[in-house]
A = this chain, B = another copy of it.
Amino acid sequence: MFRHATTVRLYDTDATGALFFAQQFRLAHEACEAFMAAAGFVLPMKPLKAGILLPIVHAEADYTAPLNWGDQVTVEVQPGRVGTTSFVLKYRFCKAGDTLAGTAQTVHVAVSRKTGRPVHLPDALRAVLTASGRRKA
């Protein structure tokens, strides 16, 4: 499982004092980019060279405990279902003492930059997603 360390910054919070809910998706995407880079599939160049985009077609998050300004957060990233043209990334947000603060998932589809239509996941990406699966086991 891939772990990305980050910090809740002032701009992630709102006037209620805690993380603004949509910023959990910012943290998820930061972790997603770090996960891809760590596995050698560096965004945005790798998909660009493969002639694809990886738009998100579904996103969801749960909020379990407040995240506050200055909190050190570990984001765990783990691939979920890997299909022919799409894949799922799952995220867990843990703060100090391993308290679960929330979870998220994003569903990505590989589409051709030329036609905009779904295409097979490139092998290099599939390797990243299934290697992680194996590392987990």
Contacts and interface: CB of A to CB of B under 8 A. Distances in A.
Given A10-B29, A30-B9, A63-B57, A69 B22 contact: no
A136 interface: no
A7 B21 contact: no
A96 interface: no
Dominant SS among interface residues on chain A? mixed
A41 B133 CA distance: 41
Nearest to A25: B22
Nearest to A42: B70
Nearest to A58: B62
Contacts of A30: 9
B57 A70 contact: no
A19 to B, nearest CB: 9
Interface of A: 7, 9-11, 13-18, 20-23, 25-26, 29-30, 33, 42-45, 53, 55-63, 66, 68-70, 106
